Amino acid sequence: MSIDISDASRVAKLARIRVEEQALPALAAEFNTILGFIEQLSQVDVEGIEPMVSVTPMRLPRRPDDVTDGGQQAAVLSNAPDAREGFFAVPKVVE
């Protein structure tokens, strides 16, 4: 796949990046370099290799995934300037 100047201009527009007209050829060349690197990666044989989430073989500490109520409604609402019926009360902002 090859990126030309019109493709580079379109990518810049979609990314909402202002690129001057004279800089488009360099941007297209940079995109083509990146795509060439990706094509090189796709040629690597990864058959039988398990995916990994880290380069270090360690397991992250985990906690039990237990659903709790929290039981701190009164403490949380004590910070509210206006609380009604167990909820934060806010002024109406849309008429």
pLDDT of residue 52: 81
> Which band of pLDDT confidence, cut at 50, 70 and 90, is reported for residue 32?
very high
pTM above 0.85, yes or no: no
For 60, phi and psi rounded to 5 degrees?
-70, 145
Q: Which ranges in the chain belong to alpha helices (H)?
A: 5-14, 24-42, 73-77
pLDDT of residue 91: 86
pLDDT of residue 13: 94
> Three-state SS string across 1-12, please?
CCCCHHHHHHHH
Q: Do the beta carbons of residue 5 and residue 25 sit within 8 Å?
A: yes
Average pLDDT over residues 47-67: 83
pLDDT of residue 20: 94
pLDDT of residue 21: 93
